[in-house]
């Protein structure tokens, strides 16, 4: 066997894995026992699935597919293998008729944890002769898969009734802020944007991040701040949800079928708009970014006679500079930290737009990373030269169906390990549950 070409820091990987497990435990501990099998979002699996899915994915990907070692519970490793993303509720697969008990699921998780930690400590986890393991591919696949699901779980639990959740002992008061900043736009000059990344350029990326793609982007004007609840309220009050001409056909069908009349995170109580936070209903914070589906964001942009940015325009606004060279992050090449934006589990809900001047891009555009993902108008598709990743071949390929749109940036509950220029997220345009905001652009005349 060849020597392992990439030397991985086993201690660091094990502590990352433990950190992930601890965060997952804290999330699942916030669910009351009677709600454990509930399904707060009808288009996703019940909560209990995810408690088994994270350890099952680690065993299936690293231990079995990667190292070729046996698992320890074939039935549960299959049951918890994959999540779902059906078109509508009628297409929701019939899940298990009976899920294992919470105790059995936790025992499964603990056994999986031992197996994975043992592999991280001793196995040839970066075997260059094995495409699943080479460069630490399977290990990183597992380590980044966990925090992605922590975010999924957060927005799923967001929909759970308050009396079915256990509040954290210490809960900081929401940073409501005052009036939103005055709405401004800024011109982004024409130039090139680099999407994706070349193989070997970063320690790990998901398959859809490769290879590198250089795109010419024309000049455009972009909102300095994300669209706020205050801005969006004008659209609601102006009858935006009743005006079919503002909506794409499919978006209008969704709006009509579900009688959508306002953002999912808003609730109307005795004539007053409230924000449904993770832990409390509070008066609608006007300075927070509005969280909406891509369909709603597009309708708003059309009402403003503007449009959503493309993925390339997002890159240009976030990472481009007037001088030419591109940056790793909007603020420069320094790693993400708490001064740059609202991310990495800094809170459960948003903060006022423009709260992080130190995170602004070279053009002065704010909050491009953090405080909610940013919707784009770009259909999720592979870059030319795409190849499915050996450690998780279905990861992206199953979603190149023309029915998902790219989101960029980060939300308050996106782990800092996932914050990099090439990272891409995607959802159906009518999926309203995610922590996603938007801003609008106009082609420069």
Shortest Å distance, C-beta 133 to Fe ion = 19
- What is the rounded CA–CA span in Å between residue 433 and residue 240? 20
Considering all CA atoms of the chain, what is the largest pairwise distance in Å, rounded to the nearest integer?
A: 71
- What is the rounded CA–CA span in Å between residue 36 and residue 267? 25
Shortest Å distance, C-beta 54 to Fe ion = 8
Strands 372-379, 436-437: pairing is parallel
Q: Which is nearer to Fe ion, 83 or 385 (CB)?
A: 83
> Which value, in Å, is the radius of gyration of the alpha carbons in the chain?
22
Shortest Å distance, C-beta 439 to Fe ion = 29
Q: Which is nearer to Fe ion, 53 or 437 (CB)?
A: 53
Non-local CB neighbours of 49 within 8 Å, separated by 6+ positions: 80, 83, 95, 99
Q: Which is nearer to Fe ion, 54 or 125 (CB)?
A: 54
Closest residue to Fe ion using C-beta atoms: 83
Describe the crossing of helices 294-303 and 229-237 by its angle, rounded to 10 degrees: 70
The Cα-based distances of 23 to 18, 159, 296 in angstroms read 9, 19, 32
Q: Which is nearer to Fe ion, 68 or 83 (CB)?
A: 83
Shortest Å distance, C-beta 435 to Fe ion = 18
Shortest Å distance, C-beta 82 to Fe ion = 7
Q: How many residues bind Fe ion (CB under 5 A)?
A: 1
Here's the x/- map for Fe ion, 71-90, by CB under 5 A: it reads as ------------x-------
Q: Which is nearer to Fe ion, 43 or 233 (CB)?
A: 43
Q: Which is nearer to Fe ion, 52 or 330 (CB)?
A: 52
Q: Which is nearer to Fe ion, 346 or 397 (CB)?
A: 397
231-260 binders of Fe ion (CB under 5 A) = none
Shortest Å distance, C-beta 150 to Fe ion = 11
Shortest Å distance, C-beta 81 to Fe ion = 9
Shortest Å distance, C-beta 225 to Fe ion = 33
Shortest Å distance, C-beta 396 to Fe ion = 13
Here's the x/- map for Fe ion, 264-293, by CB under 5 A: it reads as ------------------------------
Q: Which is nearer to Fe ion, 83 or 357 (CB)?
A: 83
Q: Which is nearer to Fe ion, 40 or 174 (CB)?
A: 40
Shortest Å distance, C-beta 19 to Fe ion = 18
Q: Which is nearer to Fe ion, 193 or 389 (CB)?
A: 389
Non-local CB neighbours of 135 within 8 Å, separated by 6+ positions: 5, 6, 126, 128, 203, 204
Shortest Å distance, C-beta 346 to Fe ion = 24
54-73 binders of Fe ion (CB under 5 A) = none
Q: Which is nearer to Fe ion, 147 or 285 (CB)?
A: 147
Strands 405-410, 425-427: pairing is antiparallel
Residues forming the site for Fe ion (CB under 5 A): 83
């Amino acid at each position: 066997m060849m020597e392992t070409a990439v030397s991985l820091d086993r201690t660091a990987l094990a502590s990352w894995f433990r950190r992930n497990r601890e965060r997952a435990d804290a999330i699942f501990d916030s669910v009351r026992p009677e709600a454990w099998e509930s399904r707060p979002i009808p288009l996703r699996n019940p909560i209990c699935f995810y408690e088994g899915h994270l350890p099952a994915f680690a065993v299936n990907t690293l231990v079995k597919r990667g190292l070729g070692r046996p698992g320890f519970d074939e039935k549960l490793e299959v049951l918890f293998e994959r999540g779902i993303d059906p078109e509508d509720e009628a297409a929701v697969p019939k899940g298990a008729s009976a899920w294992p008990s919470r105790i059995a699921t936790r025992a499964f998780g603990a056994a999986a944890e031992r197996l994975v930690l043992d592999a991280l400590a001793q196995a040839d986890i970066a075997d260059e002769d094995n495409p699943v393991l080479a460069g630490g591919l399977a290990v990183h696949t597992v380590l980044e898969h966990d925090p992605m699901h922590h975010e999924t779980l957060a927005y799923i639990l967001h929909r759970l009734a308050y009396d079915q959740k256990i509040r954290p002992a210490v809960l900081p008061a929401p940073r409501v802020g005052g009036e939103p900043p005055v709405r401004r736009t800024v011109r982004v000059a024409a130039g090139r944007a680099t999407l994706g990344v070349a193989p070997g350029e970063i320690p790990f990326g998901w398959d859809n991040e490769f290879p590198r793609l250089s795109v010419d982007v024309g000049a455009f004007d972009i909102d300095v701040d994300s669209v706020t609840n205050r801005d969006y309220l004008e659209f609601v009050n102006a009858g935006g949800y009743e005006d079919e001409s503002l909506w794409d056909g499919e978006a209008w069908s969704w709006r009509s079928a579900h009688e959508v009349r306002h953002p999912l995170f808003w609730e109307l109580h005795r004539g007053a708009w409230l924000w449904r936070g993770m832990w409390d209903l509070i008066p609608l914070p006007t300075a927070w970014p509005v969280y909406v589906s891509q369909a709603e964001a597009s309708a708003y942009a059309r009402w403003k006679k503007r449009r959503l940015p493309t993925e390339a325009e997002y890159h240009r606004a976030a990472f481009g500079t007037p001088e030419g060279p591109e940056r790793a992050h909007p603020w420069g090449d320094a790693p993400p930290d708490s001064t740059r934006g609202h991310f990495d589990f800094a809170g459960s809900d948003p903060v006022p737009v423009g709260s992080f001047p130190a995170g602004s891009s070279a053009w002065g555009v704010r909050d491009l990373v953090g405080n909610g993902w940013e919707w784009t108008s770009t259909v999720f598709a592979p870059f030319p030269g795409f190849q499915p990743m050996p450690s998780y071949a279905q990861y992206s390929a199953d979603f190149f169906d023309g029915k998902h749109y790219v989101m960029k940036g980060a939300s308050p509950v996106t782990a800092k390990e996932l914050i990099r220029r090439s990272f891409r997220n995607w959802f159906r345009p009518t999926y309203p549950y995610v922590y996603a905001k938007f801003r609008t652009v106009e082609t420069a005349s």
